[in-house]
Chain A
């Protein structure tokens, strides 16, 4: 099966975590969000990374292609299968949706289109807000391998993104469907240099930032609120002669 060879190739190249992506496009009618496939169903045994003793880790990811504000309502629904995915990404198609995604939506990743000219320009305020919230921007590299027009769009869109966000919070990922379209982690980090990232940002785009996204997804799954205790200011104790010390009230409500 070509999928198992994909994971083998990933492990051979040195990747320790792979995310399986489900893309939901709301333009088509009646899209229901399916439950994520559990990794143990796909492969009986995961390939082991050469050089380490652990097998690769597979996480699940959902990408929502939104072209209308009503499509974002599914993110707020509490009963859908969205909660079961590890990472949630959104692919905004208009400028308003990009702004909403950066400021309000509860997602981990915002995908940047690489197969067409950007339908909108990036502006600094929403991008900075997204960076403060811990949201990352994603650039794909596999379309650049297939076709030369895509190469131009990838590089130009990535360059404009990096100019606005100053290199922070960018990840580069592949949308590979075949093992031949995968490239090693250092090769991808080198592509980051081509997109205008600095050397440390390019390496982080393949390693540190991706881990931060996984942790961001975990916080979204687990914490819904925080309880903390606050010390109440104590009133001044007055001398009590009526009761001996052991019988005095020890706690105050």
Chain B
């Protein structure tokens, strides 16, 4: 928060971050052996098992929502509360295998705003 004196304005001028907010992640999972079909429920279970492996029961209880899921490309948009963001991201990074099949999670984009996931600000591309 900036005081009135710093900005030379008549009224105090405050900036506040968005509060209990959500973080959004665009992720995709890669199975190198191929031939794996996951429906949305299995995908959610994959995420919960990754959280459980790394952060235990408390991690598995983290409220994660799958907002969209594309079965063909195995990619999804997830929403998680900001306090659990680091836990979820680290759990997805360290996931090595699912049901004895090797896999890798690729986090494509993250943002605290859902609208930002529709474009890539580094390369100025809008889907």
Please list the residues of chain A having a beta carbon within 8 angstroms of any beta carbon in chain B. 51, 141, 144-148, 151, 180-184, 186-188, 190-191, 193-194
Contacts and interface: CB of A to CB of B under 8 A. Distances in A.
B22 to A, nearest CB: 17
A146 B102 CA distance: 9
Sorted from nearest, which 8 A-B pairs have the closest CB atoms?
A145-B96, A187-B93, A194-B90, A190-B89, A180-B104, A193-B86, A183-B93, A146-B96
B96 A190 contact: no
A51 B110 CA distance: 19
Contact of A151 (B32, B54, B107, B123): B54
| Size bracket, chain B contacts | 20 to 34
B104 A191 contact: no
B107 A187 contact: yes
Given A51-B123, A194-B86, A145 B95 contact: yes
Contacts, number: 42
B90 A193 contact: yes
Contact of A51 (B53, B54, B93, B122): B122
B94 A144 contact: yes
17 contacts: A51-B122, A141-B94, A145-B94, A151-B54, A180-B103, A180-B104, A181-B96, A182-B104, A183-B93, A184-B107, A186-B107, A187-B89, A187-B93, A187-B107, A188-B93, A190-B93, A193-B86
A182 B93 CA distance: 10
Contacts of A186: 107, 110
Contacts of A151: 54, 94
A151 B50 CA distance: 13
Contacts of A180: 30, 32, 102-104
A183 B96 CA distance: 11
B84 to A, nearest CB: 13
Nearest to A154: B94
Interface string B73-88: 0000000000000100
Contacts of A183: 93, 104
A148 B93 contact: no
